[in-house]
Structure 1
Amino acid sequence: MKTVFITGTSSGIGKAAAKLFQSKGWRVIATMRNPEKETELNLLENIILLPLDVTRPEQIKYTVAKAYSLAEIDVVINNAGYGLLSSLEAFTDENIVRQIDTNFLGTIRVTKAFIPHFREAQKGMFINVTSIGGHTGFPFTSVYNGTKWAVEGWSECLSIELSLFNIGVKTVAPSATKTELFSHNADVNPLPFYQATEQKMLSVINPSSTPEEIADVIYEAATDNKDQLRYFAGKGSQAIYDRRMQVGAENSRREIKAMYFDALKDSH
């Protein structure tokens, strides 16, 4: 039986991935900050819940060691994420640091903890959940998107580096998905200079993909045996990336600026 280790499984894409891998006959080590509060995954056979906050290096070491005491890990899915949607000017230092610490540094920490095990076994795979926002720019998500750009670039470097030991690295970039990712926006106090525009921007965003659709692509990446780095998931993700490649980065930036802000002007 193969084993997958997944971060951020309390909701959304992480929970959907845990349920999908379990249904396919995998053992799932599902991690979250407060596993004692979980009421669904703990009822499923071959799912093991472990505590993990990816911003706590000592807990990462403990949880990875605990996971290996239970099973040999085949795939690690770095899914834990934290996002805020607002102007950069409105973010406190804590707002900025938490996004970077969770999305980028947390992914690095978890990966680094697993590499020695994978290197010794001469096999293993990391799948990093990023975002279409890690390939193009959108307003009011500068720090979040910045972390996802960072994970994409870092993953590409690492995919080359770890190929020395037959270790795979892949990224899955979802489009806007029906999750609780930006449900923390109460942590930000929007500034009056941007507030009306931000509100209209939120009305333009339409999360149309489901966590289950993204989980399907994650499972594909884990099992297709392809030497492929990037996978696009959800409605619109591949099309947005393809358009950027077609017109180039500068024209893509101009198009997105027009798409969002012209729509906002028209809505006045």
Structure 2
Amino acid sequence: MKTVLITGASSGFGEAVALRFAKVGWNVVATMRDPSAAGPELGSWPNLLATRLDVQDRQTIASAIEEGIQRFGGIDVVVNNAGYGLFGIFEGVSREAIHAQFDVNVFGAMDVVRAILPHFRSKGSGMIVNVSSGAGAIGFPMASIYSASKFALEGWSEGLSYELDSIGIKVKIVEPGGATRTNFMQRTGAESGRQQPIEDYAPFLRSIGTLYEGMGSSADPDAVEKVAAAIFTAATDGSNQLRYSPTDDIQPILNARRSSSEQAYRSLTLGIFTPKAA
């Protein structure tokens, strides 16, 4: 039986993908900052170990990996799912908040991968699935720092994929859309609420706020399961595909970013994000 280690598995995508792997017979190391917050269903699977891993604490990363190897004999797949979004006007975001965003979304994932690679190299195989976002391909207003962290995650993942492919280890990227109903938004709201308001941006914020509220109200109710299915597919399909974009809400703008001219893409995004006259 194969084993997967998943970060940020207490809820949302992480919990859903942990259950998906467990239900088909995989051993699962479901990690989270606070194991007491684990959903009750996680505790009902004998092939699932819920344990502590805080991506900002390298000792907990090493401990969780060692615990998983000791319990199940090895680890075959790592899913870097832990993350949160920092939303707001760039000028109002503190330097400390920006560092924290990169510490979780980028450096945390890097530290998990750095810690697992000696084990993967000893086996001559392994799979890393990094959970990015549509914001890893597109810069969204009010999300410039979050987008920057996910752009960094994707660039690192793509470059890393060539290095690791040479020694039998695969890297995949999964890009969920922007409007998903998960506990991801709880930390996002807490972090974003600490920013300093700047009155000059108020008209723009009202316009963009209305736009994003509309996006949120039309969120795909099946997005969590779609993303969990895409993560499972990425980990198991045996292909060389690098990116997986499982939710429909982000597809039109992703297609424009990757398939049309820069001028056409810019015209599309200006039409979406430019404040409309009152």
Equivalent residues of 2:11, 2:39 under 8 A apart: no
Q: Which residue of 2 aligns with 1:180?
A: 183
How far 1:18 moved relative to its partner? Answer: 1.0
Structure 2 residues not aligned, in runs of 5+: none
Q: 2:88 aligns with which of 76, 86, 93?
A: 86
Cα deviation code 1:42-97 (max 9, x no counterpart): 23332211101101122212221222111211110000002111011010122101
Q: 2:137 aligns with which of 132, 135, 138?
A: 135
Q: 2:154 aligns with which of 140, 146, 152?
A: 152
Distance 1:244 1:30, change over 3 A: same
- Name the TM-score, length of structure 2 as normaliser: 0.90
Q: Which residue of 2 aligns with 1:26?
A: 26
Equivalent residues of 1:137, 1:253 under 8 A apart: no
Q: 1:218 aligns with which of 231, 234, 243?
A: 231
Q: Which residue of 1 aligns with 2:197?
A: 190
Cα deviation code 1:245-267 (max 9, x no counterpart): 23234542342122122xx415x
Equivalent residues of 1:8, 1:81 under 8 A apart: yes
Q: Which residue of 2 aligns with 1:36?
A: 36
CA distance in 2, matches of 1:33, 1:199: 35
Any runs of at least 4 consecutive aligned residues in structure 1 with deviations exceeding 3 A, and if so which? none
1:9 maps to amino acid: A
Equivalent residues of 2:29, 2:48 under 8 A apart: yes
Cα deviation code 1:116-137 (max 9, x no counterpart): 1111101110000001111111
How far 1:240 moved relative to its partner? Answer: 2.1
1:191 maps to amino acid: I
Structure 1 residues not aligned, in runs of 5+: none
Q: Which residue of 2 aligns with 1:6?
A: 6
Equivalent residues of 2:9, 2:38 under 8 A apart: no
Cα deviation code 1:194-215 (max 9, x no counterpart): 2443243233221423211111
How far 1:178 moved relative to its partner? Answer: 1.6
CA distance in 1, matches of 2:21, 2:196: 39
1:22 maps to amino acid: A
Matched, 1:253 2:254: no
CA distance in 1, matches of 2:44, 2:198: 44
Residue correspondences, number: 265
How far 1:22 moved relative to its partner? Answer: 1.4
How far 1:193 moved relative to its partner? Answer: 2.2
Cα deviation code 1:169-190 (max 9, x no counterpart): 0000111222233332323333
CA distance in 1, matches of 2:266, 2:139: 7
**Match runs of 1:85-104 below 5 Å:** 85-104=87-106
CA distance in 2, matches of 1:44, 1:193: 53
Once superposed, what is the RMSD of the aligned Cα atoms?
1.6
CA distance in 1, matches of 2:152, 2:115: 19
User: What is the SS of the residue equivalent to 1:165?
Assistant: coil
- Name the TM-score, length of structure 1 as normaliser: 0.93
1:54 maps to amino acid: V
How far 1:236 moved relative to its partner? Answer: 2.8
Equivalent residues of 2:10, 2:39 under 8 A apart: no
CA distance in 1, matches of 2:167, 2:85: 33
CA distance in 2, matches of 1:9, 1:199: 34
User: What is the SS of the residue equivalent to 1:168?
Assistant: strand
CA distance in 2, matches of 1:84, 1:200: 19
2:276 maps to amino acid: K
How far 1:153 moved relative to its partner? Answer: 0.7
1:15 maps to amino acid: E
1:183 maps to amino acid: G
User: What is the SS of the residue equivalent to 2:248?
Assistant: coil
